[in-house]
Structure 1
Amino acid sequence: MNYLSMIFFQIVAPILLLLIVGVLLQKKFQFNLKAMSQLITYCFMPVAVFLNIYETTIELSVLGQVAIFIMLFIGCQMLLSHYIAKVLKLNRMESAVFKNSVVLINSGNYGIPVAQMVFSTQPIGVAIQVILVIFQNMTTYTYGLYNLISSTKSGVEIVKDFVKMPIVHGLILGVILNVLNFEIPQTVRIPLDHISEGFIAVALITLGAQLSQIELKTMINKTIVISCFTRLVVGPATALLIIYLLGLDGVVAQSLFIASAFPTSRNSSSLALEYDVESNTAAQTVLFSTIVSCITVTIVIYLSTILFT
């Protein structure tokens, strides 16, 4: 119960409070949600991802282990979500949102605080979580973006839309400047930091504004429940199997196991709103999985302390 209360009050509760702020503001002012989504997609997201990649120092040995794990894990999640969507007989747009809700994980504003709390005396645990954030960003803006675009477009249009996305430019530029060890001038760095620091708040308030238009009773439906079960229960079980197959142990195994249990990424909702693809369902899934995760993540953390320490 100690872990449950700490996770809830230090991580989940602040997220829920920002969502509530978004709900209240939307009820009073009726913001243009499309404009807010564009502000996130074309300003806040690319800057946040750019700085995240630019600042990260990765040890090659740890990166190798994490890279193999994450490719296997994400690959399994992609296949699993694809076949579940077929069994549920979802249409293309519903299928795109469902797949993203299973594959895309909130490794940033949820995962890093959890890692900082659990691995307060073991910096490698936090470093691994930062690496996972980078992989998740890459997955979000490749696989996740492709899912949404391909549900409404095809062929050359998909390639054109993907290449034009500023988040892709930010990701590539972050890698290049990181490799070159280029120091960004303070005149540029200071405004970038301000934008990046505002990303989480703006994204969650916008998500709350989306949720204000949703009746809570509609959140409990078969597709959303199955999505959350797959993300929060089947996901960690799959991760545990991969960890044992790869022979991982210690803090690396513990960190990867915990990271596999985080809820659906809020970016899946932001992108769904931007491309107008089942945005209400995406927002409902993010909220539902975040609430349920305060229980499931706690259980996974407890199991990780038994299995890998």
Structure 2
Amino acid sequence: MFLNILFGVVLPIIVLIVAGSVLERIFRLDLYTLSKINFYCITPATVFMSMYHSNMNPELLGNVILFYALYVLLLYIAGSITSRIMGYRNGKKAAFNNSIMLDNSGNYGLPVNQLVFNGEPLAASMQALIMSLQSLLTFTYGVISIQGSRLQGNYRSVIVGFLKMPVPYALVLGLLLHVMAVPLPAMLSQPLTYAQQSMVAIALITLGAQIVKYPLRLYRKDIYLSMALRLFGGPLIGLLLIYALGLSGIPAQALLIASAMPTGVNTSILAEEYRNEPDFAAQTVLLSTMVNVFTITIVITLSHYVA
């Protein structure tokens, strides 16, 4: 299992990150433009298509949403307490909370889910829903928390800024068209599919370029605190919620594994987009992904006992 995850999931991700780093070294890429492409094109298309093709039933949909709401709330509380103890300012607190609440449920979580469950439709649908909820969290809380810290409480400007974000509209529209069974013409579905399929490569190449832009600081305590809460606190909270909600079988396994993902690429993209702790964000994504090679194997093993 360890070698399958290493060679089938993690190493392809690392290859793309390294490719982005090499391209940045050679060509000095325009990171601002790359983040705009991710922010306003690739991610909205991915969220829309995930919701449009979802096959979740209402009962399971409700259980997953309840689990996820409680999960991110407890992570937020843990991050806020840690930030207060460490004396982080508002901008750093927003970046720290994003690093533990916004995980890599898409370009990392989806391949892991497919490997563990061999493409089982129920498990795949749950992971797609988690990815959509994660995207919604990213472009609501993730954006508002950073903008709020930068605008010093001017929440009217924060709300206006949020309303300009395309992802919430993409999520709602995709869900509505799915519920109404509205067919998408090929002239729309095909380009959206192309954009969705490009998400992994473009996001990870961007991350690689961002990482090489900043010096690696392995001595930073804030990075290790973020990793501890993301990689160990996340699965522990997930396990407690699974028992508290009485979940079992494939849903319990899938949710536990989903709670063990590393810090998401969108954390770094948001940090670059809003110029808020991009150094910290890029390094937490890289290091948590590397350490996750070991932690995800443990969580996958434990998930068989949860079922």
| TM-score, normalised with respect to structure 1 | 0.95
**Equivalences for 1:252-271 in 2 at 5 Å?**
252-271=251-270
Instruction: Decide whether the 8 Å contact of 2:50 with 2:129 is kept in 1.
Output: no
Query: Is residue 204 of structure 1 aligned with residue 211 of structure 2?
Result: no
Gap runs ≥5 in structure 2 = none
Aligned residue in 1 for 2:226:
227
Distance 2:50 2:224 in 1: 32
Q: Post-superposition shift, 1:121?
A: 6.8
Q: Post-superposition shift, 1:232?
A: 0.5
Gap runs ≥5 in structure 1 = none
Distance 1:188 1:121 in 2: 26
Distance 2:170 2:49 in 1: 8
Q: Post-superposition shift, 1:203?
A: 1.0
Tell me the SS of whatever aligns to 2:184. Answer: coil
Aligned residue in 2 for 1:273:
272
Identify if the C-alpha distance between structure 1 residues 201 and 122 changes in structure 2 by more than 3 Å, giving closer, same or farther: closer
Aligned residue in 2 for 1:182:
182
| TM-score, normalised with respect to structure 2 | 0.96
Map Cα deviations across residues 48-88 of structure 1 (whole Å, 9 max, x no partner).
11111111121112112212211111111111111111111
Map Cα deviations across residues 8-57 of structure 1 (whole Å, 9 max, x no partner).
11111111110101001010111111111112111111111111111112
2:259 partner letter: S
Identity of aligned residues (%): 38
Deviates more, 1:98-107 or 1:130-139: 130-139
Tell me the SS of whatever aligns to 1:90. Answer: coil
Tell me the SS of whatever aligns to 1:261. Answer: coil
Q: Post-superposition shift, 1:169?
A: 2.2
Tell me the SS of whatever aligns to 1:142. Answer: helix
Q: Post-superposition shift, 1:123?
A: 2.9
Aligned residue in 2 for 1:20:
18
Distance 1:254 1:306 in 2: 9
2:167 partner letter: I
Map Cα deviations across residues 251-274 of structure 1 (whole Å, 9 max, x no partner).
111111111111011111111111
Instruction: Decide whether the 8 Å contact of 1:107 with 1:259 is kept in 2.
Output: yes
1:300 partner letter: V
Distance 1:82 1:22 in 2: 32
**Equivalences for 1:1-309 in 2 at 5 Å?**
3-120=1-118, 122-153=120-151, 154-216=154-216, 218-308=217-307
Instruction: Decide whether the 8 Å contact of 1:219 with 1:285 is kept in 2.
Output: no
Tell me the SS of whatever aligns to 1:212. Answer: helix
Map Cα deviations across residues 225-265 of structure 1 (whole Å, 9 max, x no partner).
01010010011111111111112122111111111111011
1:55 partner letter: H
Identify if the C-alpha distance between structure 1 residues 303 and 279 changes in structure 2 by more than 3 Å, giving closer, same or farther: same
Q: Post-superposition shift, 1:179?
A: 2.0
2:138 partner letter: T
What's the Cα RMSD here? 1.3
Tell me the SS of whatever aligns to 1:37. Answer: helix
Instruction: Decide whether the 8 Å contact of 1:94 with 1:278 is kept in 2.
Output: yes
2:212 partner letter: S
2:132 partner letter: I
Distance 2:150 2:54 in 1: 35
Instruction: Decide whether the 8 Å contact of 1:219 with 1:288 is kept in 2.
Output: no
Deviates more, 1:48-57 or 1:203-212: 48-57
Paired residue total: 305
Deviates more, 1:116-125 or 1:91-100: 116-125
Identify if the C-alpha distance between structure 1 residues 190 and 293 changes in structure 2 by more than 3 Å, giving closer, same or farther: same
1:188 partner letter: L
Distance 1:171 1:256 in 2: 21
Distance 1:170 1:202 in 2: 19
Instruction: Decide whether the 8 Å contact of 2:132 with 2:171 is kept in 1.
Output: no
